[in-house]
A and B are shown apart, each in its own frame.
Chain A
Amino acid sequence: MESGLRFLFLNAAVALFLAVLTSGCSRVMDTLDEPSSAEPVIDPRVERREVRRPRIDTENFELGAYTGFLSVEDFGSSTVYGGRLAYHITEGLFAEATIGQTTAGRTSFETLSGAVDLLPSDERTFRYYDLSLGYNLFPGETFIGRNRAFTSSLYLLLGAGSTDFAGDSRFTITFGAGYRVLLNDWLSAHLMVRDHVFRTDLLGEDKTVHNIEFVIGLGWFF
């Protein structure tokens, strides 16, 4: 009788346990099933972040103006005005186009003789243009006072062009050196010495003339 009762209790316990287990399982199953019907555990759709990529502003061109003195061989020296456009190809190399103009003075002969004019006044305009290649030879910093430093560079220039003078244009080789100081990110100051060399027979004999120019100028990077 006792073993029969124990058997009954055991059965009941097992049944209860199974019932609890199955109901628990089904609840677990329910909880597992539930989200799958609404949304998956892993969402394959990845929201992309909107990344705006602004264009980087390139500043490889430099536009400038300059003024100084140009010594026109045999014709004294006078004030010269000019403009330049440079394209910076690499950190060292740049290409440059320059155009400038001055009015040549009188030769010593004209001054001493008093009445002789070798050239009419409209032919005394000395205008040149050239295309050069430049190289930044010595980059560095220039210190002004104790607290101020400017980026600077010494550069060499070699170019070819043409000079209009005395009613003629002549093939001209130019060479020289310049010193550039960056006053801020877009403004540069230049000090430049160049020689314009060409052959002329203006005063009778065919000869090579050197016309040395010394200028200061400003440049704008854009």
Chain B
Amino acid sequence: MLIGAAIFLHFVTPVQAREAHYVVEVSEPFLELHSGPGRGYPRFHIAERGEQIEILSRRTDWFRVRTAGGVEGWASRAQISRTVLPSGEPVSIAPPSRLDYLERRTEGGVMLGDFSGADVLSAYFAWHATRNLSLELSASDLNGRFSSGWLAGVNLVHQPWPEWRVSPFLALGTGVIRIEPRATLVDVENRTDQIGHAGLGLRMHVSRNFMLRAEYRRYVVFTSRDENEDVNEWKAGFGFFF
């Protein structure tokens, strides 16, 4: 009796454990399994119509699946979206759409450009409160001929026409700038100053969750000396939303 129960449990438990996975049924004549998550990886197996497959995980647009026979492979999003759930409903796994782009909440990206003659590399993270308004945190690394440094700040961005494919935006922000003169120069003191900026830019949704971005900013550096400095910055790069 105990042995029987043990054998029973042995067969039942894995099934219960597997239940956490998404199970779909192949409704097309067949579903192709690739050896890796990409078009270039060879097809090595097919699942036939009516066969139930488990979706184990997803990497970009590829799904790692396990067939009823226990074969594991990768299937494309296009093929998975043509399978059905056990209830008969079609599986809806669409790529990020234009609507997802408009409704995005979090976004990150990288830009490269010129900060008053110095090279600037900056990374940003944005949180969208509405379609028009977003709050951004950014950090930039500055490398010039005579000095290097960094810049960190917050930025409020307003996008009046978010639905345009190439959409302009206005930015206003503040932050801190650190300037360190080159070691090979005669010793000049390092400076940390507060900085404010106004900016203008363009954002373009390319496809899926990928976008391009370019912007111009005019900074005012509130120096501890008598007069403030004005600095122009141009940069361009890419971003993606989660």
- A interface residue numbers (CB < 8 A to B): 49, 51-54, 56-60, 87-93, 95, 123, 131, 133, 136, 138-141, 149, 151, 153, 160-162, 166-171, 182, 185, 201-202, 221
B121-164 interface bits toward A, Cβ cutoff 8 Å, 1 = contact, 0 = none: 10100000000000000000101000010000000000000000
22 contacts between A and B (CB under 8 A): A54-B20, A54-B21, A54-B22, A56-B58, A88-B59, A89-B208, A89-B210, A95-B110, A131-B121, A139-B36, A139-B40, A140-B40, A151-B35, A161-B141, A162-B143, A168-B148, A168-B182, A169-B148, A169-B180, A170-B143, A170-B148, A171-B118
If A90-B60, A221-B59 are given as contacts, then 9 extra A-B residue pairs at C-beta distance below 8 Å, sorted by A number, are: A52-B19, A56-B58, A57-B57, A58-B57, A139-B40, A168-B148, A169-B143, A169-B180, A170-B148
Q: Please report B residues at the A interface, Cβ cutoff 8 Å.
A: 19-22, 35-42, 55-64, 85-87, 89, 93, 110, 112, 118-119, 121, 123, 141, 143, 148, 180, 182-184, 208-210, 238, 240
Q: Is the CB of A89 within 8 A of B209?
A: yes
Residue of B nearest to A92 (CB): B38
Find out whether the CB atom of B240 lies under 8 angstroms from the CB atom of A95. yes
Q: Are B40 and A53 in contact (CB under 8 A)?
A: no
Determine if B40 and A201 form an interchain contact, defined as CB atoms under 8 angstroms apart.
no
With most chain B CB atoms within 10 A of its CB, the pick from A131, A136, A201, A221 is: A131
Main secondary structure of the interface of A (DSSP, over half): strand
Report Cα–Cα, A164/B123, bound state, in Å: 18
A176 to B4, CA, bound (A): 60
Q: Which residues of B contact A160 (CB under 8 A)?
A: 112, 119, 121
- Residues B57 and A140 in contact, CB atoms below 8 Å apart: no
Which residue of A133, A161, A168, A221 is within 8 Å of B184 (Cβ)?
A168
Q: How far is the CB of A209 from chain B (nearest CB, A)?
A: 14
* In the bound complex, CA of A60 to CA of B64 (Å): 13
Contact of B35 among A131, A149, A168 (CB under 8 A): A149
Are A168 and B183 closer than 8 Å at their CB atoms? Answer: yes
**Contact status B36-A182, CB under 8 Å:** yes
Closest 6 pairs (CB-CB, A-B): A139-B40, A171-B143, A151-B36, A167-B183, A171-B119, A91-B38
What is the chain B residue whose CB lies nearest that of A203? B184
Least CB separation from A55: chain B residue = B22
Q: A56–B22 contact, CB under 8 A?
A: yes
* Contacting residues, chain B, for A51 (C-beta < 8 A): 85-87, 89
Residues in A whose Cβ lies below 8 Å from that of B240: 87, 89, 95
B148: nearest residue on chain A (CB-CB)?
A: A169
Return the chain B residue nearest A152 by Cβ.
B36
How many angstroms between the C-alpha atoms of A87 and B241 in the bound complex? 11
Minimum Cβ distance to chain B for residue A205 (Å): 11
Nearest-neighbour CB distance to chain A for B45, whole angstroms, equals 13
Contact B59 A131 (CB under 8 A): no
- Give bound CA distance, A60 to B209, whole Å: 13
Q: Is the CB of B59 within 8 A of A59?
A: yes
Q: How far is the CA of A123 from the CA of B183 in the complex (A)?
A: 11
Residue contact A166 to B183, C-beta cutoff 8 Å: yes
| Smallest Cβ-Cβ distance to A182: which chain B residue | B36
State how many angstroms separate the Cβ of A157 from the closest Cβ of chain B: 14
Q: Are A89 and B60 in contact (CB under 8 A)?
A: yes
